[in-house]
Amino acid sequence: MIKAGIVGGTGYTGVELLRLLAAHPDVELSVITSRGEKGVQVSQMFPNLRGRVELAFVEPDDAVLKGCDVVFFATPNGTAMKSVPALLEAGVKVIDLAADFRLRDAAEWEAWYGMPHVCPDLLREAVYGLPEVNRELIRSARLAANPGCYPTAVQLGFLPLLEAGIVDSQSLIADVKSGVSGAGRKAEVGILLCEAGDNFKAYNVPAHRHLPEIRQGLTAVVGTPVELVFTPHLVPMIRGIHATLYATLKNSDVDLQALFEQRYASEPFVDVLPEKSHPETRSVRGSNQCRLAVHRPHNGKTVVVLSVIDNLVKGAAGQAVQNMNLMFGLPENAGLEGIALLP
């Protein structure tokens, strides 16, 4: 059994990790940390885990975490990087669900996150944990940078087009909507029910922290810097991301449906829907699936890709478990075969 630890187990991604790992056939939950909830039973805070997780929250302690085989960091940005070097030295594999190791350039990371990076040498070693792109690198990694939720939905939607070289990489548009859980489990006026409910708004239009991550991933595919307009929105639902992606065709003589179906034919967690489909966020709620549909309105030059994921699963905890499975040589879908919840 793989002994797993979670640092920061009280947020939404933390409890989602607990839910998935508690049912994983090859994992033993060893330690869950939280400074603020030290001594509290996990099932007391999260009653859905009653009878499945018998642990209590403990204070973060590197000595205890070094006894794990893998440690997940479901913590704010800037937290994991303080502990990762010591854990790696002790032979522990690490999966960071925050942004500490997503960007490869330390100066760019510091510019976007407003703090110095304490272990910039590890940025080059960390493997960006998008299995549909870096599967083989993830298998041999000891440090995986779990992608953000927006970047997962956007990159999976654009990848087939950019890999085939059939769209203009200088005019990409990502119009993306997220449920409120993407903001995290915290007290903040903008995400209170009376503020976010029955409301719809864009935010961080001039500069969102996920933009450099998305650009980095897409640039790696094309080989030259891409130009991307990324506009995030907050919608009054708990879970889910819906990305509407636009690109301009350079070559109109292409079967877009076949292109997407062939690209993702062997991917266990990407589902390309039939022509003229419109994927819904509820179709992936609670699952590790990304569902895609590709359209070419009026048979013109614009491609429209629709991409939906659950921001807490394929956009966070589920993808982290998918990465763990690869890092430990397990079946990639182990513990992740749950069907989406309807209604």
Q: Indicate if 13 and 103 belong to the same structural domain.
A: yes
Q: Indicate if 83 and 171 belong to the same structural domain.
A: no
Residue 2 forms beta bridges with which residues?
Answer: 27
Query: For the whole model, what pTM was predicted?
Result: 0.96
pLDDT digits (tens, 9 = 90+) for 176-186: 999 998 888 87
**Confidence (pLDDT) at 324:** 98
Look up the CATH number of the domain holding residue 90.
Answer: 3.40.50.720
Asked if 305 and 158 touch (Cβ cutoff 8 Å), the reply is yes
Q: Indicate if 14 and 75 belong to the same structural domain.
A: yes
194 is catalytic: no
- Detail the DSSP E strand segments found in 35-152: 57-58, 70-73, 93-96, 127-128, 143-145
- Segments forming the whole domain that contains residue 31: 2-125
Q: Indicate if 79 and 21 belong to the same structural domain.
A: yes
119, 149, 194, 290: which one is catalytic? 149
**Confidence (pLDDT) at 104:** 96
Asked if 146 and 97 touch (Cβ cutoff 8 Å), the reply is yes
**Confidence (pLDDT) at 253:** 87
Q: Distance between CA 219 and CA 216 in Å, rounded?
A: 5
User: What is the count of structural domains for the chain?
Assistant: 2
Q: Indicate if 231 and 90 belong to the same structural domain.
A: no
**Confidence (pLDDT) at 252:** 81
Q: Distance between CA 128 and CA 112 in Å, rounded?
A: 18
Residues 6 or more apart in contact with residue 6 via CB below 8 angstroms? 14, 17, 18, 21, 29, 31, 32, 33, 71, 72, 74
Asked if 270 and 156 touch (Cβ cutoff 8 Å), the reply is yes
**Confidence (pLDDT) at 86:** 96
Low-confidence ranges of the chain (pLDDT < 50): none
